[in-house]
Amino acid sequence: MTADSGLRVRRVYDPQEDGDGTRVLVDRLWPRGVSKERAVIDRWLKDLTPSDELRSWYHEDRSATRYDTFVDRYRAELADPVHAAAVDELTALVREGGPVTLVTAVKDVPHSHVPVLVDHVEHELRHG
């Protein structure tokens, strides 16, 4: 998956590719069964991820209606000072011009925090 901004999204279980550029882990927990060498992670920005409370709440029921609420709540979290500082760090990496690949262990990427994060970062790049 590649976004308009040039951000790429890959699962940590996929092999690294030449065009990945800076690889940023965007999960709160380290992926199970993956060594740091195999993951090839340049940065781990835990503060880009949903809070433990929100993550646990969403994992209790992953229905479509709950996902919509999850998206709204996560967008609100991205505006808080801690999340915003991490977003600033990520947007700075993108603005530096090299490719940036967001790396995640989630199985269902389209219904996770990752598309919300990509959308938020692209908005910040356009308007921030």
| 94 inside domain | yes
CA dist., res. 122 & res. 110, Å (int) = 16
Find the domain containing 17 and state its range: 7-123
| 2 inside domain | no
pLDDT at 98: 76
CA dist., res. 121 & res. 128, Å (int) = 9
pLDDT at 5: 66
Residue in this structure with the two tokens 């609420």, named with its chain if needed: 69
The domain total for the chain is 1
pLDDT over 70 at 128, yes or no? no
| Model-wide pTM > 0.85 | yes
pLDDT at 97: 81
Q: Where are the beta strands (DSSP E) in the chain?
A: 7-11, 22-25, 43-44, 100-104
Residue in this structure with the two tokens 């996770």, named with its chain if needed: 112
| 128 inside domain | no
56's tokens: 């646990």
